[in-house]
Amino acid sequence: MGVQGIRAAVFRPAGAPADLHSHIEQMLLAMGRAEEAGAQVLIFSKYSLLGATAGDLAITLQEELYQGVRKLAEASGRCLAVFSLPLLVHGSLMPAIVGTLEGRMIGICLPEGDEHSLPDCLHPVWTALGDRVSLAGAALFPVPHSELMLGAGFSIRDLQSLYQKGARILALMDAWASTAGQQGEDSLLALSHALAVPCLYANAGPAESTTDGVYNGRCAALHSGRLLDALAPFTEEGWLLADLPLEVEPLAPTASPPADPRIPYAPPEGALRAAWCRDALEIAARGLAGRVARIGAQAVVLGLSGGVDSAMALLTCECALQIAGLPKDRLMAWSLPCFGTSTRTRNNARRLMAALGLESREIDLSASVRQHLQDIGHDGRHDAAYENAQARERTQVLMNLSNIHRGLMVGPGDLSELALGFTTYGGDHMSMYGVNAGLYKTALRLILRQVADTDPRPALKETLLDILDTPISPEQLPGGHEKQQTEQLLGSYELNDCILWHLLQGHSMGCILQALAQAFPEEGGKDALKERMRHFIRRFFGAQFKRNCLPDGPAVLGHSLSPRTGFAMPSDASPAAWLAAIDQA
């Protein structure tokens, strides 16, 4: 350690999930680069050997992971290299952290675990290590040429514990899915301020799976609440070299502006909300661009209804193609009018295509849906079959068009509709990638208004403003949005979205009722709000079977209803306890 501090490097590999050999080769290059730069410490992002999103694939790769760890250990030099991997412990995968130095492993650690004996608990392939390395309960490593200890972990709680055990440099090895308006190291920044210690941050990168999240590959060096250096999100190269001073004058704490209680998930109006809107659009677009690149799709295909959801999906597709480097003619949108489509929304769909410079495409589904209803013996009544046949025909047409054009069908369904079950099973409920699945209906409206206010294309602004002014409707009955308005059935989306946000935060029914009473005084008092909450809970529980087979889609706001990584619940759960709690609130 020099008098001024230590030199540290941070790296996140750019290989596809489970591409073990690519990850190891990249890590070996990073280790050589750190040696050449004179770094004393090199930190890798979470599960850097295999990718943070490889999941249970690691179970069958324990021998290959072991060989990879040995290769990295043997290649280590004077720089302490710290990386992580999923170990099979007592038959279950557990996160482990490995430290290597001067050609050997100096520790294998389970940050939240106890001391274990290697032969007793690990997959047999690891027993070749014998007693040379202990499976310790704290990921603490000595920094070469210094008296400092480095603590590496997967959470802020890990790091707080390691600080108590003597670590004076902290490293967060993360796999944090991007969230609008936030950086992955925000909580680490607060910790560095509280403890006045240097911290390193390494997040999983854009090459990770985009199934339910998008990873920005952020790497950063911090000290005492200050950001010393960082990689911008989504940069191609995941390498950061920083000199960490031992002492930094801490910053004075700053107060955050109060949130809007009616829209608790978004910052208040102004510069912060504008940045949040831009982030939300980019994160969804990055997820789609990553999926298109990974599967080799030649186009993105979507239907335009002239409503809020499909308008947002269209803008996301445009941004994604720019990121993926695909020409604009690979964005293929169709207007698919049927029985309930109004002249206003049909025209807005056409105007959107024109505003973005796209070829105008339209297929009138009235004849094919009418034929289908006749084939199944339907008498023409305006019932669920009449309405849902239109949504399912749209999905069939778009999926088949995707096959013709070797494309990916993009779904516009949003988080609010998924929560309330206001989707047609096998219709608008289904797609090949759901770009809006992590966004509330009210969030879509905020983002579209931001685009309308800032985009230089006058025709796009005019069209978006008219779409925002159009009542929300599925338009599946003759008369369109003038005869069928969603919020007359479900209640206002602003209120429903507020309930959903509080529910996903784990708040009790009593707390939610109190928050709603403060945020929505015009709704008629607690009795009226209780009825809205009951309505929401009944629909939320009744719609889980639709969510249990959701297409992939990014959790843009940090939470989702995905059964894979979001909100898990059985399809036949009883809402009785929640309804009783509302009654008693």
Give residue-wise pLDDT tens across range 24-48.
999 999 999 999 999 999 999 999 9
Q: Counting Cβ atoms within 10 Å, is residue 69 exposed (0-12), middle (13-18) or buried (19+)?
A: buried
Residue 574 belongs to a domain: no
Alpha-carbon distances of 232 from 11, 154, 220, 267, 268, rounded to whole Å: 13, 21, 9, 21, 24
Extended beta strands in 423-561, E state: 433-434
Q: What is the pTM of this model?
A: 0.91
Residue 222, pLDDT score: 93
109-157 residue pLDDT tens = 875 554 544 445 666 666 665 445 555 667 899 999 899 999 999 999 9
241 within domain boundaries: yes
Burial of 392 (0-12, 13-18, 19+ CB in 10 A): buried
pLDDT at 196 > cutoff 60: yes
394 shares a domain with 351: yes
Q: Tokens 């001067």, residue?
A: 102
Q: E strands of 143-215, at which residues?
A: 149-153, 169-174, 198-203
Q: What is the DSSP letter of 211?
A: S
Report how far apart, in Å, the C-alpha atoms of 334 and of each of 232, 365, 535 are. Answer: 36, 11, 35
Average pLDDT over residues 186-193: 88
Place of tokens 């280790």: 31
Is there a contact between 387 and 483 (Cβ–Cβ < 8 Å)? no
Domain boundary among 490, 507, 524: 490
> Is the same domain home to 97 and 210?
yes
Contacts of 445 (CB under 8 A, 6+ apart): 308, 468
Distance CA 550, CA 554 (A): 12
- Residues 48 and 128 occupy one common structural domain: yes
| Cα–Cα distance, 398 to 358 (Å, whole number) | 17
Distances (CA, A) of 552 to 19, 178, 256, 413: 21, 16, 34, 12
347 and 208 within one domain = no
Q: Tell me, yes or no, whether 554 lies in a domain.
A: no
**What integer is the mean pLDDT of 417-436?**
95
Distance CA 161, CA 167 (A): 9
Within a 10 A sphere around the Cβ of 261, how many other Cβ atoms? 12
- One domain, residues 182 and 279: no
236 and 283 in a common domain: no
Confidence of residue 203 (pLDDT cuts 50, 70, 90): very high
**533 found inside a domain:** no
Q: Are residues 215 and 287 in the same domain?
A: no
Neighbours of 150 (CB within 10 A): 27
356 touches 316 (CB < 8 A):
no
In a shared domain, residues 390 and 461: yes
pLDDT for the residue 134: 55
Last residue of a domain, one of 490, 507, 528: 490
Mean pLDDT of the chain: 92
Nearest to 427 by CA among 334, 546, 340, 297: 546
CATH code, domain carrying 291: 3.40.50.620
| Domain total of the chain | 2
- Whole-number pLDDT of residue 4: 65
What band does 446 get if pLDDT is binned at 50, 70 and 90? very high
Where does a domain end: 462, 490, 518? 490
pLDDT digits (tens, 9 = 90+) for 452-464: 999 999 999 999 9
Residue 13 has pLDDT above 90, yes or no: yes
> Residue 84 domain-assigned?
yes
Is there a single domain that holds both residue 236 and residue 305?
no
105 and 184 assigned to the same domain: yes
Least confident of 89-93, 303-307, 519-523: 89-93
What CATH number corresponds to the domain at position 97?
A: 3.60.110.10
Does residue 295 belong to any structural domain of this protein? yes
Q: Are residues 333 and 233 in the same domain?
A: no
Does some domain include residue 579? no
The model's confidence at residue 258, banded by pLDDT at 50, 70 and 90, is confident
Nearest to 293 by CA among 562, 55, 16, 47: 16
Reply yes or no on whether the pLDDT at 6 is more than 60. yes
For residue 77, what are the domain limits? 5-245
Question: Could you tell me if residue 230 is inside a domain?
Answer: yes
246: tokens are 């031992």
Q: For residue 503, what are the contacts with CB-CB under 8 A and spacing of at least 6?
A: 512, 540
Order of strands, sheet of 198-203, starting from the edge strand that comes earlier in the sequence: 140-142, 149-153, 169-174, 198-203, 219-223, 226-230
289 and 218 part of one domain: no
